[in-house]
Amino acid sequence: MIKKNLFLNICIISLTFVISIIVIYLLSMSLFIMKHRESDYYLMGKDNIPSIYKVNGKRNLYYYKSSNKNNNDIKVFKYRNIEDVKSDLTNYIDELKDNYNYAYTSDIDLSDNNGSIELSSNSVDIDKIIIINITYDKSSYVIKITKGKGNINFYK
């Protein structure tokens, strides 16, 4: 009987511990997403890239991931339930081009319901480049920002 009660108590404690870890993880991810949801800039080291929030106002950010792969810093922001994707992206692209020295590095046709856009600019860090890749459909978009080695020579 004592062994059975001891085993049962250990199971309850273990289950409580696992549930606590899951709750802490979910709360921290929610707070992390909320922090980025209303930031004016996506931060990539010393580089400040204007956010969707800064250009278009509050949008439904439901996923954020930061990683480093092959010495490239990568951040991914996923937005959904967007009322007017084309308007959001047009405003965002115009802001990047007109006020932040970004240039198209891919063909752009927002008349399609699905597509991708790529813009690039030199980083404030010497010999580094910022690449913004946006994929979209009729109600959502994903912004992937990569900072890595390279540079862009703008012709004037």
Question: For residue 73, what are its two tokens?
Answer: 């810093």
- Evaluate whether residue 12 is within a structural domain: yes
Question: For residue 66, what are its two tokens?
Answer: 């930061």
pTM summary value: 0.76
Number of domains in the chain: 2
Same domain, yes or no: 25 and 60: no
Same domain, yes or no: 82 and 31: no
pLDDT tens track, the chain, 156 positions = 566 677 777 777 777 877 777 766 666 655 555 555 568 999 999 999 999 999 999 999 989 999 999 999 999 999 999 999 999 999 999 999 999 999 988 888 888 889 999 999 999 999 999 999 999 999 999 999 999 999 887 554
- Evaluate whether residue 154 is within a structural domain: no
Give the structural domain span for 27. Answer: 1-37
Same domain, yes or no: 131 and 73: yes
Same domain, yes or no: 19 and 77: no
* SS3 per residue for 109-138: CCCCCCEEEEEEEECCCCCEEEEEEEEECC
Q: What is the rounded distance in angstroms from the CA atom of residue 138 to the CA atom of residue 115?
A: 10
